[in-house]
Structure 1
Amino acid sequence: MSEFKRIPPEQAQALRESGAVVVDVRDPQSFAMGHITGSRHLDNHSLHDFISAADLDAPLIVSCYHGNSSQSAAAYLVSQGFSEVYSLDGGFELWRATYPEETAQATPE
């Protein structure tokens, strides 16, 4: 795959169940208020470490607010060598409406 694919929450959930990594590119406060269970927050500070440690061949789902910013982030991750990248259509907002039981809040450190 040389480009990312846009997928609906149902397809993202199936990929999650088969081991896909989910990253969230929203701001830290929004991530703390709610995110896809098991997702990892990704920003400019954590991006390099994430790419360095990641399995570039593992499926990767990128989430944002509504599915717009995730497309830019997904394109960037493809350019960094990830081979199977997906952008979550509708973003976290549609995910939360579709799978409220698969939504978590960050725990205070």
Structure 2
Amino acid sequence: MTYHCIPAADAAALIRSEPGVALFDVRDLASYQRGHIDGAAHLAEDRFFAWTRRLDKAAPVLIYCYHGNASKTYAQMFADFHFTRVFSIDGGYPALEMAFAATEA
């Protein structure tokens, strides 16, 4: 199993079009608390296993971080647990925030 990197605009479209999307913010907790994408859950390593037990392995899992690097590590972890639709968002939080703003304007 592997994950896929997707552009922020594609991620925003997927989040809007699929009701069962799991969206995770893997930045530090303080950054998450200052601002995150609506519907995103904060994910840290100590909560990873709990999430793997709760989520449908066929549902889309989208992960963002600061710039699109740390999210790849988490994406691979979900893929290793046999999640079939795992995506790391290129450009991280700023890119995804801009993608949502661009489609709302």
Q: 5+ residue gaps in structure 1? A: 103-109
> Which deviates the most, 17-26 or 69-78?
17-26
The aligned counterpart of 2:5 is 6
> Which residue of structure 2 aligns with residue 93 of structure 1?
94
Gaps of 5+ in 2: none
Scaled by the length of structure 2, the TM-score of the pair is 0.88
Residue type matched to 1:45 in 2? D
Give SS of 1:99's match. Answer: helix
Q: Deviations over 1:2-40 (max 9, x none)?
A: 211111111111111112211111111010011111011
What CA distance in whole angstroms lies between the structure 2 residues aligned with 1:51 and 1:100? 30
Q: Secondary structure at the match of 2:46?
A: coil
Whether the 8 Å CA contact 2:8–2:89 is kept in 1: the answer is yes
The equivalent of 1:83 in structure 2 is 84
User: Whole-Å Cα distance in 1 between the matches of residues 27 and 102 of structure 2?
Assistant: 20
Correspondence for 1:70: 71
State the match for 1:105 in structure 2: none
Give the TM-score, by structure 1 length. Answer: 0.85
Q: Could you tell me how far apart the structure 2 residues matched to 1:57 and 1:98 are?
A: 25
- How big is the alpha-carbon RMSD for the aligned residues of Structure 1 and Structure 2? 1.6
Alignment check: 8 A CA contact 2:2 2:86 kept: yes
Residue 45 of structure 1 aligns to a residue in which SS?
helix
Change beyond 3 A, Cα 1:3–1:61: same
Query: What whole-Å deviation, never above 9, does each CA across 1:31-85 have from its counterpart, x for those lacking one?
Result: 0011111011111221111111111110110110000000111011100111100
Report the Cα distance in structure 1 between the residues aligned to 2:14 and 2:38, rounded to whole angstroms: 13
1:21 maps onto 2:26 in alignment = no
List structure 1 runs of 4+ shifted beyond 3 angstroms.
none
Task: Give the helix-richer structure, 1 or 2.
Answer: 2
Q: Percent identity?
A: 32
Q: 2:43 matched to 1:42?
A: yes
